Amino acid sequence: MGLAILLGLFALCIAIGVPVAYAIGVAAVATFAYEGLPLLIAFQRISSGISVFSLLAIPFFIFAGELMLHGGIAARLVHLASSSVGWMRGGLGQVNVFSSMLFGGISGSAVADVSALGSLLIPVMKEKGYEPEYAVNVTVTSSIAGIMIPPSHNMILYVVAAGGGMSITKLFIAGIVPGVLMCLGLAIAARWIAVKKNYPTEPFAGWIVVLSTAIAALPGLFTAVIIVGGALSGVFTVTESGAIGAIYAIVITALAYRSLTLEAFWLAVRRSVRTTGMVMILVACASAFGYMLAFYRVPEQLTSLLYYFSDNPIIILLTLNVILLILGMIMDMAALILICTPIFLPVATSLGMDPIQFGVMLMMNLGLGLCTPPVGACLFVGCSIGEVPIEKAVKSIWPFYLAILTALVLITFVPAISMTLPNLIG
């Protein structure tokens, strides 16, 4: 009965539109009360849920991303992508995917990716004769690179939700190959549509332009090198490298690019604390919710239930993916990471899947959820920028969905894609 209250109340609150973080908190506190547990413990969990050192990296990554967003790095990355891959068939589609790979590696956020690159590329694509829905679709789906390619604050959430026992750096590194693989799939899909619709190509600007745009983008790209390289080399912890990345972003955008005004800096600060508040209150409330899930032994029960229906690992993993895809369509990514990780991770590890591989799979799966209706932050932002109705965009998005799903299946069933790089670093 207690479990029914926990899950039922949570579902009810979500369904009527209570903000997700508070829906989680309300369900958890009500269940604490039902079980006669002191409410003090519930709020103790909420408080201690965010008093975790590794979580401190989240505001730093968000802040660094915001500084980059408002400090002119996005435009320089688009110039680099445009000069290097713009000559291909449907060139701006390729530019879009390549820019997402570069910018995603810096901002670590899919929504920031759509917002920054979409506002730069979608209007240009429309102007050059690309259909608006194509421009929106390629921008929206390629934004998942922001989650896959390190640094990614969602990966930190996963590590914390998994109990903090795994290396964040290894998870970061594990996301690189799957992220590139997914972008490759998206580039193929973009090209296939471009050829079919006879979209234009951009003239090759010459190696000198490629070189000069690369030099202009290099200081910005170095942010990702500082964050990932600093953590990987052991010079900094992941949290410290996030802070150093943010300081570097301030220095580069204010002094080197000279594009960070005081107004833009304060805007970045305000947006960062707002996003941090949204994410961290989710973490806090999910901590109390997770306590009750463990109290009712939900992970163990779910594992036995799945094994009751089938003991075939392929079927179980496919089932997990389908459940996550459905949940991702209606709920936000951060909340799902925090709720689903303690429930589904034991199932995956019981099948012999490495927690790092599961993390990568989870990121891509829930990332796809950001691009699907009825609730998909990236899809909404992209459609809003491109002034395309959601239903119209979704009608022609399927080649991109197919590319991501193919990458997802490969990541699920071929551990080497995710695990080769982390195994190399030991």
Partner 1 sequence: MGRQPRFLHSMERPLALLAKVCTCISGFCLILLVVTFGWLVFGRYILNSTPTWVEQLALLLIVLITFLSSAVGIKEKTHLSVEILPYLLKKRSRSVLYIFIYLILGGFGLIMMVQSYHLTVFNWSTIIPLLDIPEGYRTLPMVISGGLVSLFSLGNILQEICSLLTKDHRVNSPNKNSSGKNTQSEETTNNTSEQSSLSEENS
> What residues numbered 372-401 form the site for partner 1, per CB under 8 A?
374-375, 377-381, 384-385
Q: Does 368 bind partner 1 (CB under 8 A)?
A: no
Query: Which of 20, 97, 194, 388 is the binder for partner 1 (CB under 8 A)?
Result: 20
Cβ atoms of 373 and 393 within 8 Å: the answer is no
Q: What are phi and psi of 19, to 5 degrees?
A: -50, 135
Question: For residues 243-272, which are near partner 1 according to CB under 8 A?
Answer: 243-244, 246-247, 257, 259, 264, 266-267, 269-272
Residues in contact with partner 1, counted by CB under 8 A, come to a total of 82
Question: Applying CB under 8 A, does 192 fall inside the site for partner 1?
Answer: no
d(CA 423, CA 426): 5
* Residue ranges in 77-116 that form contacts with partner 1 under rule CB under 8 A: 111-112, 114-116
Nearest residue (CB) to partner 1, 81 versus 381: 381
Number of alpha carbons in the 13 Å side-chain half-sphere of residue 348: 26
Q: Which two tokens stand for residue 309?
A: 């229906």
How many whole angstroms separate alpha carbon 289 and alpha carbon 350? Answer: 23
Q: Which two tokens stand for residue 326?
A: 């459905």
Instruction: Using CA atoms of 137, 139, 142, 144 in order, give the dihedral in degrees to the nearest 10.
Output: -100
What's the chain's length in residues? 426
Six-digit token string for 112: 């920031």
Binding part of the chain for partner 1, among 18-26, 167-175, 314-322, 394-402 by CB under 8 A, reads: 18-26
Which of 187, 192, 228 minimizes the C-alpha distance to 98?
187
As measured in angstroms, the least distance from the Cβ of 424 to partner 1 is: 27
Among the candidate windows 118-126, 341-349, 350-358, 400-408, which touches partner 1 by CB under 8 A? 118-126
6, 10, 31, 55: which one binds partner 1 (CB under 8 A): 55
Binders of partner 1 among 346-365, rule CB under 8 A? none
Q: Sketch the per residue contact string, 134 through 163, with partner 1: x for CB under 8 A, - otherwise.
A: ------------------------------
Minimum gap (Å) between residue 379 Cβ and partner 1:
8
Contact 171, 410 (CB under 8 A): no
